[in-house]
With several copies, the nearest count.
Chain A
Amino acid sequence: MKFRAHVLVSLKEGVLDTQGKAVRVSLKNMGYGSVEEVRIGKSIMISLEATSRPKAEKQVEAMCDDLLVNPLIETRSVTLEAI
């Protein structure tokens, strides 16, 4: 079976989001005064093959732990769909 996982990686609360801040300032300068906060994260789409949904889930969680996410500064949320 084929799955597509979507890993949303965002900076932890308390970690300075320099890029988000810069984008907010830019937007303000461009006249978007209504913007209150901007946070920028990564979106990682993974297509993979697995024999079952739980197996796919387990694999994606393992990849997050092993490489995709740095727990000191980042948090993640994973969604998975069969394709």
Chain B
Amino acid sequence: MKAAVVIFPGSNCDRDVIHALEAVSCIPTQAVWHKETSLPQDTGLVVLPGGFSYGDYLRCGAMAARSPIVPAVREHASRGGLVLGICNGFQVLTETGLLPGALLANISLEFICSNCLLKVERTDTPFTSAFKKGQIVQFPIAHHEGLFFLPENELEELEANGQVVFRYASADGSAGQQYSPNGALNGIAGIVNKGGNVLGLMPHPERASERILGSSDGLGIWNSIKEWLEGRSK
């Protein structure tokens, strides 16, 4: 099975993700224009890449979430297919309702580009099986709206369901709100839906997939996905 990377007007990490999937991880990958209404045959994974779809105007991800391709992505997810939203892609996922919550402006009201440490909270998802539970990994972030927000009772429910997959952390393994570079509630950096097949995260694994770029921890994500895809192909 292959990966499909959706390109929205203003996506700017689409080529980066394709590089990480195809050139680095040898996962067959196809780009899909947002005006399409169906996904390529044999799509196992849909990636909504980072960037500034529609310039981040109005609300980040809002206009991309109303693209013609979105119903097909929704349908793919409902059949258990994998959907991965990175940064702006995560914002698109919350705007479509495929994931709960909203991403608000960073508490500093500034764009932040920097390396971050994350704690892997779950390894029983198709995206994180290659990590060790509690492992601390380093991915960069680069966003202006990354403060994960949910009203209190829904946040509790999210936590109770164990939907938090990545949390901002320190090198010694503690994780939580105080490590959020952007003010994200409970230090939330990435979450899955209840089914575990839709993952959204603010940090960029594709920017941490080669030694030469400073970290190859992102390979954990691609390797997990690859294993899942290969398992499905058999």
- In the complex they form, whether A and B have CB atoms below 8 Å apart is answered with yes
Q: Nearest B residue to A30 by beta-carbon distance?
A: B66
Residues facing B in A67-81 (CB within 8 A) are: 67-68, 70, 72-73
Shortest Cβ distance from A20 into chain B, in angstroms? Answer: 8
Residues facing A in B40-89 (CB within 8 A) are: 54-55, 57-59, 62-63, 66
Shortest Cβ distance from A73 into chain B, in angstroms? Answer: 5
CB-based contact A26/B149 at 8 Å: no
Cα(A18)–Cα(B107), bound, Å: 6
> What count of chain A residues pass the 8 Å CB interface test?
17
Shortest Cβ distance from B226 into chain A, in angstroms? Answer: 34
When A15-B149, A70-B95, A73-B149 are in contact, do A22 and B54 touch as well, CB less than 8 Å? yes
Cα(A73)–Cα(B151), bound, Å: 9
> Is A37 located at the chain interface by the 8 A CB criterion?
no
Cα(A17)–Cα(B55), bound, Å: 12
CB-based contact B63/A67 at 8 Å: yes
Residues facing A in B177-225 (CB within 8 A) are: 183
B-to-A contact residues, CB < 8 Å: 54-55, 57-59, 62-63, 66, 95, 101-102, 104-107, 109, 147, 149, 151, 183
